[in-house]
Amino acid sequence: MKLLTVDLELVLGIINGASMITASTVSLHLAARTSVRTIRILGLLLAAFAAAHGSYHLLYSLAIGYPARELLDTTSVVVLIIFAFYYGRTGGLS
């Protein structure tokens, strides 16, 4: 009987990616349900960041590797910076 060996980094990458993508759906739900424009935009930006970053972790762990890092990690950082600028420009949630 041969035991299946799984790399711990692979398992953690899949868990991390799936949890980030799940978090993006929560942010999308918040953005869809609120009537406050600032919270809607912040929710959409946060969802875009979480989806890009979660996709990066999934693809980096499963198949693509460094090309995923070049595209999706850069995209997630840019979206996070846009989120920070928008949050700073609007003065918080007021």
Kindly list the domain boundaries of the chain, sorted by start residue: 9-90
Mean pLDDT value across the chain? 85
Quick: pLDDT tens for 34-71: 998 888 999 999 999 999 888 888 888 887 767 767 77
pLDDT at 92 over 80: no
Considering the entire predicted model, what is its pTM?
0.79
pLDDT score recorded for residue 48: 92
The packing angle between helices 37-62 and 8-33, to 10°, is 160
Q: In 1-94, where does DSSP find H-type helix?
A: 8-33, 37-62, 66-68, 74-90
In the predicted model, what is the mean pLDDT of residues 70-90? Answer: 87
pLDDT score recorded for residue 56: 84
Token pair for residue 27?
């942010």
What is the distance between the alpha carbons of residues 22 and 13, in angstroms, rounded to a whole number? Answer: 14
